[in-house]
Structure 1
């Protein structure tokens, strides 16, 4: 039995395009502050998702605290309900169960607040990154995708109004989560907003070196509803990346920063950004970049969000007229289809039909030689590469998987 309500979902879609929607802040620290016991964790210490089943009262109290601060929506306690995180506790088979339980707890809290004052409250189903990066070969892409589908199925059944693929560090992992979510929505015969929030480090790129332009070029065609940033930094470090998205993304924008960059002290990490500073930053993002969904990540509290609500509730996101830049992206950067030199050079030698040298290396499985041919073309000035592995009698899918990854 799904707790899905099409009218409520439609109201969320409308809100995301016409006003500022405020989400919640940090979850983990508030759960830990209530000192759950080892028994509460079923002996799996630190697996917060277990609390959805054993101590829903603790989880619900966190949601209640944020709703009491005036937020429009809360995220489910399912950040680690994925293959990588639950496999570390040897319980990957519990992905759907824990996802559904997390969504139900949040749904109950949201509905109780709506019943009191009639104002709609929404639930964002959190889909976290896990610890395995498929681009680095930590786990097969299909394994991750199928586990994300199980994660999303639980969230949909439990009553989430939208799915948020968040804190993503590897674009291939992001894609696995988005396509897993899409499959789950299709299987459920429903259509929820799909939000993607990437994490850009202080280096200015995602963990694997992807620039924000590469993320937009790779993710926008997947049919998502919103793109934004969360975690890793405070709002100050996010503004240039938000500026880029505001200029080029056809999608709605979201932003959920940490309470500044952590400062290490005697008692561990401390996040220095005050509630007033976070609220002021969000007001600027709404006015300058048209951001429509705001919230907080590590170090943010109900008081941070209360002040954010006060500052942005009556604002309308600044109108944007994005100028999308058609292009292609590697893992690292986007290359616009723009011809500043007199031509756009496409290297054609990484082609089994056009280059004897490449074909022979591929047939012999000399992958490093194939990559060297590609590098040679880049050195000679190619802006892009045309990789073609089609050859009679070969398994093209296996060859493409081998070479595109390299």
Structure 2
């Protein structure tokens, strides 16, 4: 639905279109967009699945045809397959503010949460600390895994809203599992403050970084995070089902006791001995044979981060989400959608979530018109903003189409 030329609404859109053009012209990251496979769709679902980096298809083709097809078993050594989990972990490390040797790639986010949480309780090694606190607003899998970890370690699971976590901590707390960014509303939780509070209570902090790594600074080393996990298929663009990663702070690695001691984490994996002796450092977080095809696709995808400052990513993320909220205010009829994402920058991740009564149907209409986000039942529209490839022109178009759909 177009507005007549000269109407107030047309004039307002002209201003926003012009602003988008100027913002794109001054964007430090604008050249990165060319490193992705994109079309004329406005893709705002990178918080679920990142776009395909252009370097990946050729790399995967080479892995399949040459490394697997020709070298075969020799590729474990000659192509570096065996060391991929730590090598790729070291490439992810700067994106979460970690020094080398503390991140290992492999398994799923769920499996790594289980490893991290059970290991955290074992690191505390105090039977009087019989509670595990978990973010009550967490992604469901985190809660399921935490409940199982609590049963396995003889602890009681205590769900707590992130805003109440500090006051819930006490002498019975062994560990706390918290999401850095709320997956529904996009709220950014206070990682430095909550980590310090957990430590003051004598417990360990485990963070889920799925919705923050690659979108904003995390600085796990600087803030004393004990263990952290994250996926790689969202803002890191590793592809569907790409392997997750596990961060274990260097000071904890010697005592890190994984509940899944597979042969890949053995100090002498090819010794095939009956007794388990854990490897030193990050490899201790490995379990079984690495999923090489998806792991090496991820490694190629990480090339898009060459030369990128995470501070620039955060600055653009905030500018994109600010501009989207401005477009929503300008284009969407009053009362049709309400932002549930914090307006304050320190409390916002890299997404905007809108409460809308008919969210599922609205998202279907948006996708049909080339604006791709997603929804969470019953009434949340989610829009993720990946700074490496989302433009301000994309944002303006998304806001305008949303306004037209909600005006129909």
TM-score, normalised to structure 1's length?
Answer: 0.28
